[in-house]
Amino acid sequence: MIGVILAAGRGSRLGDATESLPKPLMAVAGRTCLDFAIEALLAVAENVIVVTGYRAELIEDHIAREWAETPVRTVRNTQLEAGNLTSLGAARVLIGQDSFVLTNADHLFPGDMYTRHFALGESGIGIACERERPVLPDEMKVIEKDGLLVAISKTLPKYDGAYIGTTFVAQNSLATYWDAFDRVHHRYDIASASVEMVLDELAQSDAPHIHWLSGLKWFEVDTPEDLAVARESLTV
């Protein structure tokens, strides 16, 4: 299985902090945000692909220095002003015919994310979601029916919980997933097309399974306030 980490964005909501340092390299508890994602994935993935973009050379240098003895490699997304669909597209050839789990570099998951909380199966498509806490206005909301995804969007007026940015695609569902990816790629403006749009496309015919996670302590780093909370909560 392949782990794929989307780490191409600048993180403009962090303001001046990302002028010289991309968001994935922000320090939390003595390491970077990216390190949290890599560590969790290496517990289950044979290889990890980090998709870089903004200040790519800094992330590449960090991986070469800190993860030199591990199966972690990078690929660049050169379409920096496009949506994150292009980042996954940049990794597509490297993923090949392997199952994969997709996540974000700004999600600080514990090391047992994929061994305890979001157990990866042998078939189908699954997404990690939560429903035991208040959903924030800018989160990606989901509607579920019988354990399957019905709709996903930030603007849903009614919803059952929130998607937390992580998707698993088993080998037997690769064709289904990439077909939906291609439909989204051709239908929508590439500047805003996202991997969440692929999930919404799949919900119309080959709905992903929703995995409701419980007891997961994690942090998302989008704003200076998010970064401060993560740094205060996670100590060296």
- pLDDT band of 32, cuts 50, 70, 90: very high
At which residue do the structure tokens 């800190």 appear?
Answer: 66
pLDDT at 17: 78
Angstrom distance (rounded) from CA 161 to CA 211: 11
Sign of the CA dihedral 173, 177, 182, 187? positive
Mean pLDDT value of segment 167-196 = 96
The domains of the chain are located at 2-233
Angstrom distance (rounded) from CA 39 to CA 232: 20
Model confidence pLDDT, tens digit, residues 126-179: 999 999 999 999 999 999 999 999 999 999 999 999 999 999 999 999 999 999
**Residues with Cβ < 8 Å from 64, sequence gap 6 or more?**
none
The one-letter amino acid at 173 = S
Question: Residue 236: pLDDT above 70?
Answer: no
CATH no. for 2-233: 3.90.550.10
Model confidence pLDDT, tens digit, residues 70-93: 999 999 999 988 999 999 999 999
pLDDT at 13: 80
pLDDT at 220: 94
Backbone angles phi, psi at 33, to 5 degrees: -55, -40
Average pLDDT value for the chain: 95
Question: Residue 30: pLDDT above 70?
Answer: yes
- pLDDT band of 119, cuts 50, 70, 90: confident
